Amino acid sequence: MDAETFNALYPVRTPVRVFPNTREDPPRIARTRTPAVQVQHGLAVVHVDGIRCAFDTRYVDTLPDNCPVEAAS
């Protein structure tokens, strides 16, 4: 999904499940803290609370608004 579509569907502060290392590792539940942006080769990425790296939107699982999130560290 490109950044424009992701942003139209999921505003900043959307709860998400991300996998900071691999999908075999435990996920983190957080909120998006930036809009998604297009980077090289059409890749769309988004930043989430409490984690420094950006995540490929293809590997971000969006969650319902009422989902409890982890405290930002």
What is the arithmetic mean of pLDDT over 10-38? Answer: 90
Domain that holds residue 35: 3-62
**pLDDT number for residue 42:** 86
CA atoms of 15 and 67, how far apart (whole Å): 7
Quick check: is 72 in a domain? no
Give the count of domains, the chain.
1
Task: Name the percent of the chain lying above pLDDT 70.
Answer: 96
Quick check: is 69 in a domain? no
Question: Is residue 73 scored above 60 in pLDDT?
Answer: no
The secondary element (H helix, E strand) that includes residue 61 is: strand 61-62
User: Tell me: the pLDDT tens digits for 46-72?
Assistant: 999 998 889 999 889 999 988 888 766
pTM as predicted: 0.84
Quick check: is 71 in a domain? no
